[in-house]
Amino acid sequence: MSPLVWDLAHIGNQEELWLVRDVGGRDPVRQDIDELYDAFQHPRAERPSLPLLNPTEARTYVREVRDKVFDVLDRTPLEGRELVENGFAFGMIVQHEQQHDETMLATHQLRKGNPVLHAPNPPAAPAERLPAEVFVPGGSFEMGTSLEPWALDNERPAHQVHVDSFWIDTVPVSNGHYLAFIDAGGYDDARWWSERGWAYRTEAGLTSPRFWHRDGDGWQRTRFGVVEPIPVDEPVVHVSYHEAEAYAAWAGKRLPTEPEWEKAARFDPDTGRSRRYPWGDEDPTDEHANLGQRHLRPAPVGAYPLGQSPLGVRQLVGDVWEWLDSDFRPYPGFRAFPYKEYSEVFFGGDYKMLRGGSFGTDKAAVRGTFRNWDHPIRRQIFAGFRCARDHRPD
Ligand SMILES: [Fe+2]
């Protein structure tokens, strides 16, 4: 990971480059540091040894940039130039900051030492019996968006996609269910793993999700420095794509594809249209989803009934990112905007898709169409999964 202070000044530097200099046409605040905070010039491993601004300097810098940006925002008509149309450049930079904020939270999760972050627990799940799976009828639906003003290039354009009927888990896979996979010897049985997944599991010596430790016959986990028993009703988090895939095979299911996930999240069978979010078109509130680091853990499975999709699928947005059985590819009609390095350079790479955001994701940086991607071995991110299948055995 980057040092936290690199992320902080990098957030300010991107804001300066795009909004102060490009959109605002103003003089640079600190041109001398551009190179230090260029993510493409310096991979994460190099960043700790760079002559970075210290925390006080970094805070002064981001404050100075923000003051100028508010002034630019006041004076810029949000039309007439594609970059600023409907405030896009501002929205892109807001999302960029929030994405780094989630990365910084993952750095906190990796950090050793006493807890420094505290937050109240998320709401409990209502006492009710939910069906284990929900049926999603086959047919085409609108995937992606052409209208969402802050949607990034890879979410565009809206297009029709046919999806065969399938069943999807109502809620993400819980720690309790994942423990059953561990207890059944799932980590020691090559049958459930892809060839690549098994090679990774063997080489890395995996026996459980990351941050879990053996405690006598059971397990504990470390969460932001707190050691605690595994909460069995919480979605499992800190598993790689390979572990998610192995669990699904063991359970007699599979991971959903990206179109399946988006259809389960957005398709309204009554109107035939796709919603912005599972619950409708309104922006997320505290009642809809566990977002924005208000809680530093996922809510128990079945929570947030007001956030469910028209078909009754819960916790698609918030709580944990969900690994999907799809690679990162452009939609038909894709056009790189505003630069190739946002998405295009990653297409076809060794990535798997993640959808829905986590408790660490800000509401500005996730929606029904938002696409995230990462290496299939990544475990420090706040990712879990749910399963799907073509047919339900009678
Ligand atoms: Fe960045």
What is the predicted pLDDT for the residue at 124?
A: 97
Look at residue 176 and tell me if it is in a domain. yes
Domain boundary among 63, 90, 110: 110
What is the predicted pLDDT for the residue at 392?
A: 82
The CATH number for 187's domain is 3.90.1580.10
Residue for token pair 């999760």: 109
Rounded to the nearest whole angstrom, what is the distance from the C-alpha of residue 95 to the centroid of ligand 1? 10
205 and 157 in a common domain = yes
What is the predicted pLDDT for the residue at 393?
A: 75
Domain boundary among 81, 110, 139: 110
Sequence-ordered list of residues with C-beta below 8 angstroms from that of 200, at least 6 positions apart, any chain: 206, 240, 242, 376, 377
Domain boundary among 110, 144, 176: 110
Q: The domain containing residue 43 runs over which residues?
A: 4-110
Residue 157 CB neighbour total at 10 angstroms: 16
157 and 25 in a common domain = no
Look at residue 386 and tell me if it is in a domain. yes
Rounded to the nearest whole angstrom, what is the distance from the C-alpha of residue 13 to the centroid of ligand 1? 9
Rounded to the nearest whole angstrom, what is the distance from the C-alpha of residue 11 to the centroid of ligand 1? 7
95 and 40 in a common domain = yes
- Total number of residues shown for the chain: 394
Four-CA torsion 54, 55, 59, 60, nearest 10 degrees: -40
Rounded to the nearest whole angstrom, what is the distance from the C-alpha of residue 235 to the centroid of ligand 1? 28
Rounded to the nearest whole angstrom, what is the distance from the C-alpha of residue 100 to the centroid of ligand 1? 6
Rounded to the nearest whole angstrom, what is the distance from the C-alpha of residue 26 to the centroid of ligand 1? 21
Rounded to the nearest whole angstrom, what is the distance from the C-alpha of residue 388 to the centroid of ligand 1? 33
Rounded to the nearest whole angstrom, what is the distance from the C-alpha of residue 170 to the centroid of ligand 1? 34
The count of structural domains within the chain is: 2
130 and 219 in a common domain = yes
23 and 48 in a common domain = yes
Look at residue 226 and tell me if it is in a domain. yes
Q: Is the peptide bond before 51 cis (omega within 30 degrees of 0)?
A: no
Rounded to the nearest whole angstrom, what is the distance from the C-alpha of residue 96 to the centroid of ligand 1? 6
Rounded to the nearest whole angstrom, what is the distance from the C-alpha of residue 386 to the centroid of ligand 1? 29
Rounded to the nearest whole angstrom, what is the distance from the C-alpha of residue 219 to the centroid of ligand 1? 36
Rounded to the nearest whole angstrom, what is the distance from the C-alpha of residue 350 to the centroid of ligand 1? 20
> DSSP string covering 329-362, please?
-PPTT----S-TTTTGGGTTSS-EEEES--TTS-
Q: Is the dihedral of CA 16, 21, 24, 30 positive or negative?
A: positive
Separation of alpha carbons 211 and 379, rounded Å: 9
Report strand pairing: 372-374 vs 212-215. unpaired
386 and 326 in a common domain = yes
Run means of pLDDT, 10 residues per run, the chain, 394 residues: 96 98 97 94 93 97 98 95 96 98 97 95 96 97 97 98 98 98 98 98 98 95 97 98 98 98 98 98 98 98 98 98 98 96 95 98 98 98 98 78
Look at residue 115 and tell me if it is in a domain. no
273 and 357 in a common domain = yes
Rounded to the nearest whole angstrom, what is the distance from the C-alpha of residue 380 to the centroid of ligand 1? 18
Rounded to the nearest whole angstrom, what is the distance from the C-alpha of residue 342 to the centroid of ligand 1? 9
133 and 85 in a common domain = no
What is the predicted pLDDT for the residue at 394?
A: 64
Indicate the pTM of the whole model. 0.97
363 and 288 in a common domain = yes
Rounded to the nearest whole angstrom, what is the distance from the C-alpha of residue 55 to the centroid of ligand 1? 18
Rounded to the nearest whole angstrom, what is the distance from the C-alpha of residue 340 to the centroid of ligand 1? 14
